Amino acid sequence: MRLHTADGLSLEAEWAGSPDARATAVLCHPHPQYGGTMRSIVISALFEALPERGIACLRFNFRGVEGSEGSYAEGRDEPLDVAAALDAATEAAVAVAVAVDGPLSLIGWSFGADIALGVDDPRVAGWVGIAPPLRFRPERAYDAVGHDPRPKLLVLAANDEFRAPTEISAATNAWASTRIETVAGASHFFVGRTERVVTLVGDFVVGLTAPS
């Protein structure tokens, strides 16, 4: 798939449908300048596992990554990439032309989590931030989502090398409708712990489909 941003870039993306899809998730990958792509370990694990739980997924490469046009913008313009992904995920799944009736979740890991948590879009039913450093956007950029009543899940790594989970918990203490789960024994990269991440994220998204 190709996504098209408001500032004229074409981004590469992939869609994983589900025959019994009841929700959709947009997946945002880690830092472009440190090897992050839409095929990074946690994003790949989610992209493979979530459709088996009835959650269609769209993953994409941020600007300047692999087959996506443009260049890294230090987090300033990457929200436009997320908006393009949300457009594609809500427009009848674009290439496959299969509409998914259900909530749309925005899920990011590391840099991708920071960008996702800074995108306040009315189409989003809930956010998941996996090991968000909360450093790649200005602090005020998280205010709208942080104080929004829609549900949020933060999945933190107990042994995160980039920012301790206690710091993230303190930074988000005033956020509304936010649940924090810390994965024991996990580093920032969740090697050997991706199954736990997939379970937490899948449960959260499926929970959004439950009648209120």
Domain ranges of the chain: 2-208
Does residue 60 contact residue 81 with C-beta atoms inside 8 Å? yes
Greatest CA separation for the chain? 43
Burial letters 90-115, b for 16+ CB under 10 A, else e? beebbeeeeebebbbbbbbbbbbbbb
Position 155 scores a pLDDT of 98
Instruction: Enter the tokens of residue 183.
Output: 């994965």
pTM score, whole prediction: 0.95
What's domain 2-208's superfamily in CATH? Alpha/Beta hydrolase fold, catalytic domain (3.40.50.1820)
Cα separation, 68 vs 132, in Å, equals: 23
Residue 154 backbone phi and psi in degrees, to 5: -110, 120
Instruction: Report DSSP letters for 134-145, one per residue.
Output: S-SS-GGGGHHH
* Strand locations in the chain (E): 2-4, 10-16, 23-28, 55-60, 104-109, 124-130, 152-157, 178-183
Position 212 scores a pLDDT of 63
Position 91 scores a pLDDT of 80
Written as tens digits, the pLDDT of the chain (212 aa) is: 999 999 999 999 999 988 888 999 999 999 999 999 999 999 999 999 999 999 999 999 999 999 999 999 999 999 999 999 999 999 854 344 445 568 999 999 999 999 999 999 999 999 999 999 999 999 899 999 999 999 999 999 999 999 999 999 999 999 999 999 999 999 999 999 999 999 999 999 999 998 76
